[in-house]
Amino acid sequence: MEFQKLIESRRTVRKYSADSKVTKEQIEELIHAAQEAPSWKNSQTGRYYCVMSDDLTEKIRQNCLPGANNAVKSKHAALIVTAFVHNRAGFQPDGMPDNELGNGWGCYDLGLQNENLVLKAAEMGLGTLIMGIRDADKIRELLEIPETETIVSVIAVGVPAEEPARPKRRELDTIAKFF
Ligand SMILES: Cc1cc2nc3c(=O)[nH]c(=O)nc-3n(C[C@H](O)[C@H](O)[C@H](O)COP(=O)(O)O)c2cc1C
């Protein structure tokens, strides 16, 4: 798909088909796309915990997605927990932060990766829902994610069962200044 069309047509999908499932190969393709993103000193600190089985997706939806109706919105989708190894991107080898943003850079890098991931999904005809409303402690416990990683979003990936309209974007002059 032409790139401009892809970025304009990608939408957050909150209803997934019960009839077809994403495959492990498809999820791997998404993560390969994510890996192509730039990162601080090429540190590549993003991590992906991909939950495909019915049992475990159900467990996570019921126990770890308590708000925003996210458990319902992500039904029938695979769930990718995204995290980053903290205290590395934005830090010097002696552990000192390079500047005031500290681990903000790890989060920044993960966001770049995740944008690649959701755009790749859109190109493949898959829908995604990035969820910031989630219970990180419960996810950590359930998936045994090490304490050295900060859990960020959970991304639902599935076959769309809706075609959402495009939410309005702000006018350019309200978000950009030219000098
Ligand atoms: C960091 C982040 C967290 C989000 N968390 C949620 C969420 O918990 N639940 C939800 O329904 N949508 C969530 N969204 C989706 C946004 O609401 C959505 O991207 C926005 O309304 C724009 O719509 P679009 O993605 O279709 O362009 C999140 C998006 C981002 C980037």
**pTM beyond 0.95, yes or no:** yes
Tens-place pLDDT, residues 86-143: 999 999 999 999 999 999 999 999 999 999 999 999 999 999 999 999 999 999 999 9
Mean pLDDT score across all residues of the chain: 98
Quick one: pLDDT at residue 25?
Answer: 98
What is the Å distance from ligand 1's center to 93 Cα?
A: 35
129 CA → ligand 1 middle, Å: 7
Query: What is the CATH number that goes with domain 12-163?
Result: 3.40.109.10
Question: Is residue 11 within 6 Å of ligand 1 at its C-beta?
Answer: yes
Give the pLDDT confidence score for residue 92 in this predicted structure.
96
Q: Helix (H) and strand (E) counts for the chain? A: 7, 4
Integer Cα distance of 92 and 138 in angstroms:
31
Q: Which two tokens stand for residue 162?
A: 């809706």
Portion of the chain with pLDDT greater than 70, in percent? 100
**What local confidence, expressed as pLDDT, does residue 67 receive?**
95
The count of other CB atoms within 10 Å of the CB of residue 45 is 23
| DSSP-assigned letters across all residues of 55-95 | HHHHHHHHHH--STTHHHHTTTSEEEEEEEETTTTTB-TTS
User: What is the average pLDDT across 57-66?
Assistant: 98
Name the closest-CA residue to atom 8, ligand 1. 131
Query: Looking at 105-148, which runs of residues are DSSP E strands?
Result: 127-131
Q: Distance of alpha carbon 76 from its chain centroid, rounded? A: 17
The encoded tokens of residue 9 equal 């047509």
Q: What is the pLDDT of residue 158?
A: 98
Q: What single-letter DSSP state applies at residue 154? A: E
Residue 49 clears pLDDT 90, i.e. is over it:
yes
Spatial CB neighbours of 4, under 8 Å, sequence gap ≥ 6: none
Atom number in ligand 1 closest to CA 133: 8
Which whole number is the average pLDDT over 45-72? 97
Output the CA 92–ligand 1 centroid distance in Å: 33
Q: Residue 95: CB within 6 Å of ligand 1?
A: no
Of the pLDDT bands very low, low, confident and very high (cuts 50, 70, 90), residue 1 is: confident
Residue 63's pLDDT is 98
For residue 58, the cross-strand partners are none
Of 7, 11, 12, 128, which is best to mutate to test ligand 1, by the most ligand atoms within 8 angstroms of its C-beta? 12
Return the structure tokens found at 15. Answer: 């209803």
Q: Quick one: what percent of the chain has pLDDT higher than 90?
A: 99
Overall average pLDDT of the 38-53 stretch: 98
